[in-house]
A = this chain, B = another copy of it.
Amino acid sequence: MSIRYGVLGTGALGGFYGGLMARRGLDVHFLFHSDYQHVLTHGLRVDSKLGDFHLPSVNAYDRPEAMPKCDVVIIGLKSTQNHLLENLLTPILNANSIVLVLQNGLNVEQAAVQIVGHSRVAGGCCFLCSNKVGPGHIRHLDYGRIVFGAYRGIDGKGIGPSPESLQRILTDLVDSGIEAYLTDDLPTTKWKKLMWNIPFNGLSVLLNASTDAIMNDPDSRLLARRISQEVRQIAMAAGCPIEPSYVDWVIDHTDDMVPYDSSMRLDFLNGRPIEVEAIYGNALLEAQRCGFTAPIVQTMYQQLKFMAAHRKPNLQP
């Protein structure tokens, strides 16, 4: 019996992965917000490195009450919208629904845990350069890997979904052409992702710069490396073993990346909330829990909170 998927937040991430799954013929139901009418008429369009495609007709909804119950709900919303999650998620849950949270940041799965309990939440990291460029129109620029696994709570003592249920999701993702992997150590995967997000998301806002500008300037390049190193040190203090050379990997990998505006920079420039708490605040909470001081991450956190509170309307890319 096939899994019925729901996608909450059909943007750069949910539209790309959900679109690939729908193209494969999986049973996928998409919640749209402002793009709903456009998608009803014109379908969903994905321009992708993997090949452009257009789905003229998708299962599109403008409110969760109209959706069927789903076995797996993929959360593609930004964590800044997690206050909406209960109202969006509750109508589409069955007794065993698994919630797969694909959000940047640490312990962002807690919002779902509070709704469905700790045995039904998975988390994942997406290594994806993708933007929504118009209504129902996604542009996938680079990468696309998902690494996901059971979310076991802040203390790591929760249960999480069964390996079998996660394996079935993995099979569907891979069959859809997505580079997906299961991890039994979600925290380490999350920290590895943060070793990119914390330097590059924040610097892209604070320096008003795309990744290539950050990489091409000797000072910001060195700073990005120092930040990534500090994030690794927090991870180590939190019991997540990451080899020192992973810092080099992050830097090399960013060199190879196409020039890219991080999601945080796009959010900032477009006047949307930025994920400061999920990415910086929660990492600092974890550092504090482990008695580790993270002066650079703390500095960025305070700078970004100021920037978010005093957004200058004339700060253009």
Residues of A participating in the B interface, judged by any CB pair closer than 8 Å: 203, 206-209, 213-214, 217, 219-220, 222-223, 226-227, 230, 295-296, 298-303, 305-307, 309-310, 312, 314-316
Contact = CB atoms under 8 A, between A and B. Distances in A.
Given A206-B206, A296-B296, A310 B213 contact: yes
Greatest chain B CB density within 10 A among A296, A306, A310, A316 is at A306
25 contacts: A203-B303, A206-B206, A206-B303, A207-B303, A207-B310, A209-B310, A214-B306, A217-B305, A217-B310, A219-B301, A219-B302, A219-B303, A219-B309, A220-B302, A220-B303, A223-B303, A223-B306, A226-B295, A226-B302, A295-B295, A295-B299, A296-B296, A299-B300, A312-B315, A314-B316
Chain A at the B interface: SS class: helix
A284 to B, nearest CB: 12
A314 B315 CA distance: 7
**Copies per assembly:** 2
B207 A306 contact: yes
Contacts of A300: 299
